[in-house]
Amino acid sequence: MDSNQKIRKQVKDELTEYLTLHKHRKTPERFAILDHIYSTKGHFDMDTLYKSMIDVNFRVSRATLYNTIELLLDCGLVLKHQFGGNMSKYEKAYGNDNHDHLICTTCGEVREAKNEDLSIASQLKKIKKFTVNYYSMYIYGTCSKCSHAKKMEMKQKSKQGKN
Amino acid sequence: MDSNQKIRKQVKDELTEYLTLHKHRKTPERFAILDHIYSTKGHFDMDTLYKSMIDVNFRVSRATLYNTIELLLDCGLVLKHQFGGNMSKYEKAYGNDNHDHLICTTCGEVREAKNEDLSIASQLKKIKKFTVNYYSMYIYGTCSKCSHAKKMEMKQKSKQGKN
DNA sequence: ATGTATGCAAACCATTTGCAATGAC
DNA sequence: GTCATTGCAAATGGTTTGCATACAT
């Protein structure tokens, strides 16, 4: 709890600094959106974010949400993912452990998996002519639920084939 | 050249097997699209694929292209990427070295980087309750061209600030 | 002959854009 | 007071869908 408070203050300061440096305005919407993102857990999409802000009686337009997310991506406070569905998913950049994403190509569910592979960091350093901001590891496959469902389906089909 | 011929035959056979197994029809379109994909290099998007097939006088509709790509994704012959632009990119799954993707968040350019990190494979084996098909490593950052452009821009801004 | 796959055009929907009104500076 | 930012509504564009036709089986 306490550490979350600390992070929310840190990111607010970082946003302030970024806005000052880039001569952008410090609007209440920008800080409210950032804080809202950092007070919730896990992935979110625009629709979820929009509705959850309305829920706490903070009126924002979708346009502003998109504008602000763009800003937050720019200053590295938020990460964007496109796992394969129709809409983009986002997550906060700080206060998250480094993790891979397990994406089930059947049901679309995204699970996080801890990643303690330190050799990746050393690999990144070897990259030339490119300034690395962050990386994402997407692992595609089938979750246990869907694996099971597929097996059942195949059994059905092979039965029909015998008729 | 020769190895490419071999791969094209292999993937054709694999598609045939897949279609038979799943009781789908072996239409000329499906084989033509697969072969077309495997006779070109690097990433492609739907529009590029569509136009390049028209160019070689093979008439397909966009709808069929989308249907077929879905099929090829299903049987693992093609990989799909959403790097952050508006449209999805694809690449063939076989005959490509294992590589990471360096994505410039400024200009959107995607560069491939060789990846010989064998520890990743052993990491994947540790994942429970999930059947891994493939993985993609996306490394976001700024390419040297855009880094340079940004520096220039910052200089401009700080000059203006002094007026 | 049967029903799946194709092609076309219309529909969809997340995201972007244009513009008037607001408010940070 | 000025001009960036907001909010609304309309536009955009990649992708999906509905349906008549073609063709693999």
For B82-95, give one letter per residue: b (16+ CB within 10 A) or e: bbbeeeebbbbbee
Contact B73/B34 with Cβ under 8 angstroms?
no
Domain A1-96 and domain A97-142, same fold? Reply is no
Contact B141 A147 (CB under 8 A): no
Mean pLDDT across the stretch A46-72? Answer: 97
Each residue's pLDDT tens digit, B51-66: 999 999 999 999 999 9
pLDDT band at A119; cut points 50, 70, 90: confident
With CA atoms as reference, report the closest residue to B84 among A53, A70, A147: A70
CA B28 and chain centroid, separation: 23
Q: What is the C-alpha to C-alpha distance for residues A63 and A69, in angstroms, rounded to an integer?
A: 10
The H or E element that residue A92 is part of is strand A89-92
Contact A34/A91 with Cβ under 8 angstroms?
no
> What does the DSSP 8-state code read for residue B44?
B
CATH number for B1-96 (one of 1.10.287.3510, 3.50.30.30, 1.50.10.10, 1.10.10.10): it is 1.10.10.10
Q: Write out residues 5-64 of A within 8 Å (CB-CB) of B.
A: 22-23
Q: Say which amino acid occupies A129.
A: K
Give protein residues whose Cβ lies within 7 A of nucleic acid chain C: A 19, 25-28, 45-47, 62-63, 66-67, 70, 86-88; B 24-25, 27, 29-30, 59-64, 67-68, 86
Q: Say which amino acid occupies A69.
A: I
Write down the pLDDT at residue A153. Answer: 61
Nearest CB to A105 within list B105, B133, B139: B133
Each residue's pLDDT tens digit, B144-154: 988 887 676 65
Q: How many A/B residue pairs have CB atoms within 8 Å?
A: 97
Cα dihedral angle (A65, A66, A69, A75), rounded to 10 degrees? -130
Say if residue A160's pLDDT is above 60. no
Q: Does domain A97-142 have CATH number 3.30.1490.190?
A: yes
Q: What is the C-alpha to C-alpha distance for residues B127 and B137, in angstroms, rounded to an integer?
A: 17
> What does the DSSP 8-state code read for residue A84?
S
Q: Which nucleotide is nearest to A67 (CA to C1')?
A: D5
Closest Cα in chain A, distance from residue B105 (Å): 9
With CA atoms as reference, report the closest residue to A123 among B111, B59, B103, B116: B116
pLDDT band at A120; cut points 50, 70, 90: confident
> What are the domain boundaries of chain B?
1-96, 97-142
CA B157 and chain centroid, separation: 38
Name all contacts of A116-124 with Cβ < 8 Å and 24+ positions apart: A117/B119, A117/B120, A117/B123, A119/B117, A119/B119, A120/B117, A120/B120, A123/B115, A123/B117, A124/B139
Each residue's pLDDT tens digit, B75-123: 999 999 999 888 999 999 998 877 899 998 888 889 998 887 777 878 8
